[in-house]
C-alpha cells in the first residue's frame, strides 16, 4: 500500500500533523468557536480534515437545538458522514485517516464517539476541566477499554489561552438555558 502524505494509516499513535496544518485548521476552528459565542452557545469549534480537505465542521448547537448532545464534534461527525455518502466513500476508511481539530478538549461523550469511529488524532486548544474525556476528567482517549473503538492520540495546548478566554466570556454572560439556581452567585454579585 502506498503511504499518503507521509502519514501512517490506521495505526493511531503514528499520526502527526505539521505546524502549518495545525495553524491553518485551528484558525478555522477558532472562528467556529467565535461564531458559537456570538450565538450564545458554549464557544467550541471543530474541523474534521481528511486528505487536506474539510469533510466536517461544527460548533456547539446545544442551546439552539435544545439538545444537550449537539456538541461541535457531534455536529462535525454528522457532516462528515454526509460527506462520505455524497462522495461514495466508506466512512470507516475515511475516519481512520481523519484528524480532528477542536478548540477545547473533547468531553467524555465526544471522546467516546471519536474512539468508536476510530479517529487517530485529535489536536485541541485548552483543557476541559469539567467534562474532559482526554485526561481532565476521564481518559477515554487512551484508556484500555474493550469493544470501544480504538484509542487516539491527542496534541493539546494549541492557542489554549484564547480558547479559555472565549469560555470565560461565555460563562460571564447568562446562559439562557441554565436554570436560575445554577447561575453562580459570584457572577450575579459582580453584575
Ligand atoms: Zn462533547
Instruction: Tell me, yes or no, whether 176 lies in a domain.
Output: no
> Ligand 1: distance of its center to the CA of 84 in Å?
22
- Round to whole Å and give the CA distance between 136 and 164: 15
Nearest Cα residue to 77 out of 117, 105, 122: 117
For residue 190, the model assigns a pLDDT of 45
105 is catalytic: no
- Calpha distance 82→184 (Å, rounded): 40
Q: What is the pLDDT of residues 36-52, one digit of tens each?
A: 999 999 999 999 999 99
**Within a domain: residue 10?**
no
CA 190, CA 91: separation in Å to the nearest integer?
Answer: 49
What phi and psi values does residue 6 have, to the nearest 5 degrees?
A: 75, 0
Domain range for residue 42?
19-170
Predicted confidence (pLDDT) per residue in 60-87, tens digit: 999 999 999 999 999 999 999 999 999 9
Q: Is residue 100 part of a domain?
A: yes
What is the residue whose three cell numbers read 437545538? Answer: 65
For residue 157, is pLDDT > 70?
Answer: yes
**SS3 assignment, position 134:** strand
Is the confidence at residue 185, as pLDDT, over 70?
A: no
Total residues belonging to the chain: 191
Mean pLDDT of 96-116: 98
Name the residue among 102, 81, 101 with its Cα closest to residue 93: 81
Calculate how far, in angstroms, residue 107's C-alpha sits from the geometric centre of ligand 1: 4
Return all residues near 170 (Cβ < 8 A) that are at least 6 apart. Answer: 37, 40, 41, 42, 43
Q: What is the mean pLDDT of the chain?
A: 89
In a domain, 6, yes or no: no
Q: How many helices (H) and strands (E) does the chain have?
A: 7, 5
Using CA atoms, how far apart are residues 128 and 73, in angstroms rounded to an integer?
A: 14
How many angstroms separate the alpha carbon of residue 70 from the centre of ligand 1? 8
**Rounded to the nearest whole angstrom, what is the distance from the C-alpha of residue 6 to the centroid of ligand 1?**
30
- Specify whether the CB–CB gap between 112 and 140 falls below 8 A: yes
pLDDT of residue 5: 43
* Structural domain includes residue 3: no
Residue 8 lies in a domain: no
Smallest CA-to-CA distance from 65 within 42, 33, 81 is with 42
Spacing, Cα 189 to ligand 1 middle (Å): 30
CA 111 to ligand 1 center in whole angstroms = 7
> Catalytic one among 41, 61, 73, 96?
73
Question: Is the model's pLDDT at 114 over the cut of 70?
Answer: yes
| In a domain? residue 54 | yes
Q: What pLDDT was estimated at residue 93? A: 97
Q: Quick check: is 2 in a domain?
A: no
Domains of the chain: total: 1
We report the CATH number of the domain holding residue 143 as 3.40.140.10
Amino acid at each position: 500500500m502506498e503511504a499518503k502524505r507521509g502519514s501512517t494509516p490506521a495505526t493511531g499513535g503514528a499520526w502527526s500533523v505539521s505546524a502549518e496544518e495545525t495553524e491553518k485548521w485551528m484558525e478555522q476552528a477558532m472562528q467556529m468557536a467565535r461564531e458559537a459565542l456570538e450565538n450564545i452557545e458554549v464557544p467550541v469549534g471543530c474541523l474534521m480534515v481528511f486528505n487536506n480537505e474539510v469533510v466536517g465542521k461544527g460548533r456547539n448547537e446545544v442551546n439552539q437545538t435544545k439538545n444537550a448532545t449537539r456538541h461541535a464534534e457531534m455536529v462535525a461527525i454528522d457532516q462528515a458522514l454526509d460527506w462520505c455518502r455524497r462522495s461514495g466513500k466508506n466512512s470507516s476508511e475515511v475516519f481512520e485517516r481523519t484528524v480532528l481539530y477542536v478548540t477545547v478538549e473533547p468531553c467524555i461523550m465526544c471522546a467516546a464517539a471519536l474512539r468508536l469511529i476510530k479517529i487517530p488524532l485529535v489536536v485541541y486548544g485548552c483543557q476541559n476541566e469539567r467534562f474532559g474525556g482526554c485526561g481532565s476528567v476521564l481518559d477515554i482517549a487512551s484508556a484500555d477499554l474493550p469493544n470501544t473503538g480504538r484509542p487516539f492520540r491527542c496534541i493539546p495546548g494549541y492557542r489554549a489561552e484564547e480558547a479559555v478566554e472565549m469560555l470565560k466570556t461565555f460563562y460571564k454572560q447568562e446562559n439562557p438555558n441554565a436554570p436560575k439556581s445554577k447561575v453562580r452567585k459570584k457572577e450575579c454579585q459582580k453584575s
